[in-house]
Amino acid sequence: MPINITMPALSPTMEEGTLAKWLVKEGDEIKSGMIIAEIETDKATMEVEAVDEGKVGKIMVPAGTEGVKVNAVIAVLLEEGESAGDVKAPDAPAPKSEAAPAPKPSTPPAASPSPLTPAKAGAQSSVAVLDPGLRREERTVGARIMASPLAKRIAANKGIDLKALKGSGPHGRIIRRDVENAKPGAAQPANGGAPMTADSLILPQILDDRVYAPDTYELKPLDGMRKVVARRLTQSFMQVPHFPLNIDITLDNLLESRAAINAAAPKDVKISVNDLLIKAAALALIDEPDCNASYTDKGIAYHKHANISVAVAVEGGLITPVIFKAEGKGLAEISEEMKDLAARARDRKLKPQEYMGGTFSISNLGMFGIKSFASIINPPEGMILSVGAGEKRAVVDEAGAIVARTVMSVTLTCDHRVIGGAEGAKWLAAFKRYAETPEAMLL
């Protein structure tokens, strides 16, 4: 009986991915452990190993296909004695009849199946990926616009009003080719009856002729990373009660210490200010363990180690590789590890275990000249530190004289379900102590 190869879940949060590349073709013999494909998730591009042995009988999902749902059948293996003719694709479900009664107002419309979710047959049955354009139509309440979910999603991305289109599918249903052949224009009105979704909150449909003329912009569809980042940050901003704490830190001692360390270090070692801040943040978390915590429905998780997530800007979004157990690592080790993680993050080559499991985040925009800012919390972490630029400022010293000092403003954003104002202030005091007297990090 043919063996299904399904879309793997490459991280706990992965719901779908892009089948970027096949490394095998139909007819190839594969063995367990052989690399057969490359999958792009919202965070990285990863290789997929074969679990079973056999001959590739049919590739169900071609290379370059986006939005492939986890557990969808992407290829079928043939065992000894089987042929490609043994691979059977199920018939597409028949479209819903026009005579079907409209749903009652109090009953929400049934959720449509995912376009790439396999049908439930036998454990070893061959399941084809169905064309989303062949799925049953969905109607918006009152307006009775018949369109496939994929057509709706493409229309939203292109700013197209579905009411203005004539469908070429069964019973006049609008399908993918109708939307792809249409020109960007007016979007659906906000009160058009479509159900409110997280994506509609993240990307308001404001591409109306009355706002932007169709020929004055170019619409670039969201990639997987941008969608996930937008969704998660929106959820964090709306669902996590947070508050900011601000403090100024004098950097002159830290900068002098950094220069002395780099002068004494081997040529291939160069400690950055960010490396010192990672170490200072980790030690402050150990000093104030109540702040090294995450909120859960079952209770507050107090972490035993300071795993520092560092925001790295990449094309199409950002990613937060983690320096694990940073409190016990030297500056040279932190520096080398951070350079490696940042380089592979930009190439989207990080493994899930390298960007998950952080207990605290740092976002540094000082290199761009940003004086101060407040970041959105990266759940399930309880705090995130926003680091601004160090700049010369006039300050009053201990003797009462006005002198020039290098000062940096930082903002600590706290999850109020976990961290109170007093706890956050204590952590900032500890962080300030390490940053302003870096020799304390050696104790």
| Cβ-contact 44, 350 below 8 angstroms | yes
> What's the average model confidence in pLDDT over 252-267?
95
Q: How would residue 14 be classed by pLDDT, with cut points 50, 70 and 90? A: confident
Average pLDDT, the chain: 79
Looking at the predicted structure, is the pLDDT value of residue 169 above 90?
no
Looking at the predicted structure, is the pLDDT value of residue 193 above 50?
no
Looking at the predicted structure, is the pLDDT value of residue 131 above 60?
no
> What's the average model confidence in pLDDT over 124-138?
32
- The CATH number of the structural domain formed by 1-100+108-130 is 2.40.50.100
**303 belongs to the catalytic site:** no
Residues in the chain: 443
Looking at the predicted structure, is the pLDDT value of residue 326 above 60?
yes
> What's the average model confidence in pLDDT over 388-408?
95
Q: Which of 171, 242, 303, 416 is catalytic?
A: 416
Looking at the predicted structure, is the pLDDT value of residue 125 above 50?
no
| Predicted pLDDT at 137 | 34
Q: Which fold has domain 134-222?
A: Dihydrolipoamide Transferase (4.10.320)
Q: How would residue 324 be classed by pLDDT, with cut points 50, 70 and 90? A: very high
| Predicted pLDDT at 83 | 65
Q: How would residue 164 be classed by pLDDT, with cut points 50, 70 and 90? A: confident
Q: Residue 33 has which token pair? A: 């452990």
Percent of the chain beyond pLDDT 90?
Answer: 44
> Mean pLDDT lowest for which of 9-13, 129-133, 195-199?
129-133
Q: How would residue 55 be classed by pLDDT, with cut points 50, 70 and 90? A: confident
Residue 17 β-bridge partners: 68
Q: What is the 3-state secondary structure (H, E, C) of 88-151?
A: CCCCCCCCCCCCCCCCCCCCCCCCCCCCCCCCCCCCCCCCCCCCHHHCCCEECCCCCCEECHHH
Write down the domain spans for the chain: 1-100+108-130, 134-222, 240-442
Distance CA 380, CA 390 (A): 29
CATH architecture of the domain 240-442 equals: 2-Layer Sandwich (3.30)
| Predicted pLDDT at 82 | 67
Looking at the predicted structure, is the pLDDT value of residue 121 above 90?
no
Cβ neighbours, 10 Å, residue 350: 25
| Predicted pLDDT at 170 | 64
| Predicted pLDDT at 411 | 98
Which pLDDT tens digit goes with each residue over 266-300?
988 999 999 999 999 999 999 999 999 999 999 99
* Range with the largest mean pLDDT of 32-46, 341-355, 358-372: 358-372
Amino acid in the structure at residue 254 = L
